[in-house]
Structures are given as C-alpha cells and as structure tokens.
Amino acid sequence: MRMAKITKAIIPVAGYGTRFLPTTKAQPKEMLNIVDKPVIQYIVEEAVASGITDIILVTGSGKRAVEDHFDHNLELYNWLKKQKKENTLEELKKIAEMANFIYIRQKGPYGNGTPVLNAQKIIGNEPFAVLWGDDVFYGGKKPRLKQLIEAYEKYGDPVLTACRVEKEATSRYGIIDAIKVEENIYQVKKIVEKPGPQKAPSTLASVGGYILTPDIFEVLSKTKIGKGGELWLADAMSSLLKQRPFYACEVDAKYYDVGSKIGWLTANVDLALTRADLKDEFKKFLKSI
C-alpha cells in the first residue's frame, strides 16, 4: 500500500497573544515582525519549502490581518507600479501565491486541540502537519518540517519535533522519554510535562510541530477537557501513543520561541545578522553597546 503524501498543514492562529499585550490588543501576535517579515510568513515559507501545498489557518476574532497578508492588494500593487518598485511588487505577489490558503473560524472549547479538530473535514483520511504560530525554526540543511516528513515517510507513524535543551530548561518543556533508533530519530515511550532537572528522563524536548495521522481525530473528539478548562492536543496524543508508535526527530535547525519576548528579540538579532543588507551596520551597533 502506497503511503499518502503529506500536502496539508494546520496552523492555529486564534490565540490572544497575552504575553505580548498591549501590542497584541489590536494586532495578531502572528503578525509581529522578525526584521521585516511577520512571524506567520516564516512558518508558511517553511511549510511550502517542505512540500506543503494547502495551508489551513484556523483563525479567531481580530485575525483579519493574517488573512489580508496572504491575499492580493490591488491598490497597493498599483501604487508600487507607479513608483516603479517592481521588485517589491513581485515579492508581495509571491506571498499570496505560494500556497492554497484555507481559512476556518475556530469553534469549540478553548485549547490547542480545538483548531485541529475543526480542520478534520478538510484533512480527511490523510496524514498532515500541525505547526504553531509562535515557533520559528531557522538554518539546517533542510527545513525542519521536511525533516519530520522524511521521518514519517520512513516509519509511517506520527512524528514530533525535538530539540536538545539545557538541564535547567527541562522545567519549561515536555521532555521525551525515548529509545534511539537511528542518528536523530527516537521511538517515544512517553512525554513528561515540565519535569525539571531532577526528574527529566532526558534533555530532549518536544517543542511543537508534528506530523499526525488521521486517527488522532477520533481520539481528540473523545478527549476530556483538561488543565485550565482547555482541550489539549497533547492529551489526545498521549492517548494515541498507547495505541501506536510515535517517533521524535531531533531536528537540525535553531529553534526560536517567538511567543516569548526573549525568543522574539533573539530571533530578530540572529536573523538580522544573516542579512547582507543589514549585518555590517548592525554588528557595528551591537559592538558599540
């Protein structure tokens, strides 16, 4: 039986972005810039570079700016044409055309399991990716998601994104208890939520972003509301883990939690230093302080 190709990615973007208030009071957190591109564009570009053709954005109230960003703006195009800014015009057109964008309004209980469940009819009986709107991965020989897809194609089971963290950081992440099966691939036994250095089974953290199989939907629909009165995707994944193997791919990429202020600031500094048009002047500024 031929394995279904992964062409669809769900990106939940309905959250409030409370860690960035008051900025996110009227602006979606996904539209915060890293240098001169919004966070959500980096995530979509990673997906497209990994072979994804259908981007399913699960939105909520106040997220219109995300939809507008991935749409054509004829008035702006005409103005850029008059100003003879053809390069900028072509760059903006590509943003709207790089994937098939599908928008769903999130409905159901609060929590990160709900947007996945909302996309069930669009996903159908296919494996798919879930990417979070505040996780940016940069560098590496291949995009992070491409690495997960290749692991799925080899093993045929759900795959988690994994990164090494310092022992002290094990109190901030779900830590993977797993058996190594090859260089950067592990078969997951369980995930211990924020155990801390004394109880952590490893320093391999599950940092978000998955390849999931369609059997997650039935499990998720039966998952009880959990911590904080929310429906958690992790709870459903833990249940599914008892029924089938899960794998973790230790990815070759640098991870930025841009949902935190320090992660967002770090991403801006690091990515600015990769830019030919910025790095020399920016390095001079950094040395001066």
Is the pLDDT score of 123 beyond 80? yes
What's the chain's average pLDDT? Answer: 93
* pLDDT > 70 in the chain, percent: 99
Instruction: Place 121 in a pLDDT band, splitting at 50, 70 and 90.
Output: very high
**Predicted pLDDT at 2:** 57
In whole angstroms, give the CA distance from residue 248 to residue 184: 8
Residues in CB range of 64: below 8 A, 6 or more apart: none
Tokens, residue 99:
């994937």
In whole angstroms, give the CA distance from residue 149 to residue 51: 9
Q: ∠ CA(253), CA(93), CA(266), 5° rounding?
A: 30
**Rg (Cα) of the chain, in Å, rounded?**
20
Our separate counts of H helices and E strands in the chain read 11, 13
In whole angstroms, give the CA distance from residue 222 to residue 227: 16
In whole angstroms, give the CA distance from residue 47 to residue 36: 19
Single-letter amino acid, residue 240? L
Single-letter amino acid, residue 62? G
**Predicted pLDDT at 15:** 83
Tokens, residue 119:
């996309």
In whole angstroms, give the CA distance from residue 132 to residue 257: 10
Burial 23-49 (b: 16+ CB within 10 A, else e): ebeeebbbbbebbeebbbbbbbebbbe
The per-residue pLDDT for range 169-218, each reduced to its tens digit, is 888 888 999 999 999 999 999 888 888 888 888 999 998 799 999 999 99
What is the arithmetic mean of pLDDT over 71-90?
94
* pLDDT > 90 in the chain, percent: 76
Rounded to two decimals, the pTM is 0.93
128: left (phi over 0), alpha (psi -120 to 50) or beta: beta
Instruction: Place 238 in a pLDDT band, splitting at 50, 70 and 90.
Output: very high
In whole angstroms, give the CA distance from residue 259 to residue 135: 7
What is the arithmetic mean of pLDDT over 107-132?
94
Is the pLDDT score of 1 beyond 80? no
Tokens, residue 44:
């979509």
**Predicted pLDDT at 198:** 87
124: left (phi over 0), alpha (psi -120 to 50) or beta: left
The per-residue pLDDT for range 50-73, each reduced to its tens digit, is 999 999 999 988 889 999 999 999
